[in-house]
Structure 1
């Protein structure tokens, strides 16, 4: 493919002098005799352009994972300068986060605790922030930071977010509750801070999250915390019954499962709803913790009073 090289206007005079000074081709030139006159066509002289044929082309080098990671690391280091407050770079960080959301997860892993807390407090206290940024912040930064720090500050962050950005909190919770390598106390302390109505809504929210057996087993402790203080609506009771059925095979020796099973039966005994006593009895029979005995006692009472 031909590439056209143009000269700047201020170079035109010099170009013309060079072209005029050039001698015509020498027929006795050995190079010309060997390769022929057709090669002269490769360079066409004019006072405006020089056209070079068959110039090599170079495609842009595709971004590899290594290049991407290196760029991400460089971006993060820019915001880690201890001499400059991260808040002075806030606008730039918002733009960078929207363009490259993964930088938020990287920052959550690497920011010094005091800097991260300062940044979170700024976001929670700001009057107006970019909605796209906030969504990404609660998707990438908060879940990673909660897993890393597991502190009272993290619990307070969830509480304040629940008050200011309840819908954004759901983004974080959905990710946090699926994480099986986190500590449980931040989530449990947050659940304990909610009132009965809020816990009821929370359980209904959890019921819509797609969890595998490992994830269910891990959050039974949290679910029990929420369930014991929530309103026992039909939706809540139906969800807990479904949970007990679905988790029975892999939670038969789990004490938290036993606690939920006992609490569920205690409330069903009071509510006197029309439930499947036979199936419940089978679930209890397969259970293998000390909670089995009081559960069987309630089952027998329910059968007698049915």
Structure 2
């Protein structure tokens, strides 16, 4: 007759993980030791004289079960979490008791970063908000997890759907400037993320912050598709940012590099016009050959005002040369 093993309710989550991960592994020690038994995961406590099993100790990788007839040590009972059923169980536990499962979630995500993507896709909004609050308000969060959180979890979460509320939530994490920059670079390279996220984000920044945002583009090596996808947010940041020689060189370089891909793009025309207006008002330097090629190639309605300013700059340059 099969034995019925009873486990403490506090161990329910760990036992369920063990059971859910052994079905495809015939060599698993847990399956060999208990495969013939029946399990009662949430059985209420029984009087001591009838209780045949007792949990003696446990940690992140070992569960030790003792009984009158059998003794078994199960090593590495928690294997990599990949199946949908287990993901649902983890999500359910995080929904109901995040505070006690928070450290366990971090451990599992460090072992398997792809778990962060699955959690971002399955957790409800309230739980995501709580997790963000835990991470953003912590003073000693694991640095490796923090990088993964910004690089993997948050971009995947935004893909589910973006709203102003989402932006307010994510801005709370901007205090981690290095990790937040990693997050922004990740967003800039992903055309599957709605471009209105960065557009709204840029509008909330002051001039100095907008300049810092633009400088993140340096050496980012955007594809033509990625540049066009982010073009309006680049324009929004540039028109109100604190201008500098670095910013001017960066924008001129971007305009020249992607000129063939934006011949009729109005946002490109807006950026070009704003650049030329800045050169004119600040009497700044510019590459005459580059700008002339850009304007000659361009075909949007902004071509005419750009050409007008360019000719004014040439006349000004000639007057001061003579």
With normalisation by structure 1, the TM-score equals 0.73
Residue 231 of structure 1 corresponds to which residue in structure 2?
242
1:190 aligns with one of 201, 204, 227: 201
The alpha-carbon deviation at position 74 of structure 1 amounts to 4.3
Tell me: CA distance 1:72–1:126, structure 2 relative to 1, closer, same or farther (3 Å).
farther
Residue 113 of structure 2 corresponds to which residue in structure 1?
101
1:171 aligns with one of 172, 178, 182: 182
Residue 126 of structure 1 corresponds to which residue in structure 2?
138
The alpha-carbon deviation at position 201 of structure 1 amounts to 1.6
Q: Does 1:248 align with 2:266?
A: no
| Aligned 1:30-179 pairs, distance under 5 A | 71-81=82-92, 84-162=96-174, 164-179=175-190
The alpha-carbon deviation at position 125 of structure 1 amounts to 2.1
Residue 296 of structure 2 corresponds to which residue in structure 1?
285
- SS of the counterpart of 1:79? helix
- SS of the counterpart of 1:259? helix
Give structure 2 stretches of 5+ with no counterpart. Answer: 1-78, 318-322
Distance in 2 between the 1:173 and 1:228 partners?
19
CA contact (8 A) 1:80 1:86 kept: no
- SS of the counterpart of 1:275? coil
The alpha-carbon deviation at position 75 of structure 1 amounts to 4.1
The alpha-carbon deviation at position 72 of structure 1 amounts to 4.6
Give structure 1 stretches of 5+ with no counterpart. Answer: 1-66
Residue 18 of structure 1 corresponds to which residue in structure 2?
none
Residue 272 of structure 2 corresponds to which residue in structure 1?
261
Distance in 2 between the 1:279 and 1:166 partners?
34
With normalisation by structure 2, the TM-score equals 0.70
Q: Does 1:210 align with 2:221?
A: yes
Distance in 2 between the 1:230 and 1:280 partners?
21
Residue 28 of structure 1 corresponds to which residue in structure 2?
none
Distance in 2 between the 1:139 and 1:106 partners?
14
Q: Per-residue CA shift, 1:98-138, capped at 9, x if unaligned?
A: 11111001111111122212221222222321111111111
Larger gyration radius, structure 1 or structure 2: 1
CA contact (8 A) 1:253 1:288 kept: yes
Residue 271 of structure 1 corresponds to which residue in structure 2?
282
Residue 302 of structure 1 corresponds to which residue in structure 2?
313
Tell me: CA distance 1:173–1:75, structure 2 relative to 1, closer, same or farther (3 Å).
farther
